[in-house]
Amino acid sequence: MTPLVLVCGAAGFIGRHVCKEIYNRSITAVGLGRGSLSQQEIDQLHLRSWHSANITLKSLDVALQSEVPSSIIHCAGTGSV
């Protein structure tokens, strides 16, 4: 069974690189965060699915579809500090 990882902020600069590395390690990733991704971008990031939403308990439940991820990688945040 392939491990499942949730990447919060997968559409951002760091999140995109994390998703590619997860794929290189033969791990399945689900992305959650703000913004929209085209199907082409989802495919390039090798995401099983992308969920455009603020990170809340409800959006986590929807993104994971009652699955339990082996880990959650939080890359979400603002680009201006």
- The phi, psi pair for 46, rounded to 5°, reads 60, 35
Note the pLDDT tens digit of each residue in 28-69.
Answer: 999 999 888 999 999 999 999 999 999 899 999 999 988 899
7 has pLDDT over 90: yes
Collapsed DSSP state (helix, strand, coil) of residue 52: strand
Beta bridge partners of 47: 29
> To 10 degrees, the CA torsion angle through 19, 48, 72, 53?
100
32: part of which helix (H) or strand (E)? strand 28-33
The pLDDT of residue 79 is 74
What is the pTM assigned to this prediction? 0.89
Tokens of 42: 């989802």
Note the pLDDT tens digit of each residue in 13-25.
Answer: 999 999 999 999 9
Edge to edge, the sheet with strand 47-52 lists 47-52, 28-33, 4-8, 71-74
The pLDDT of residue 78 is 80
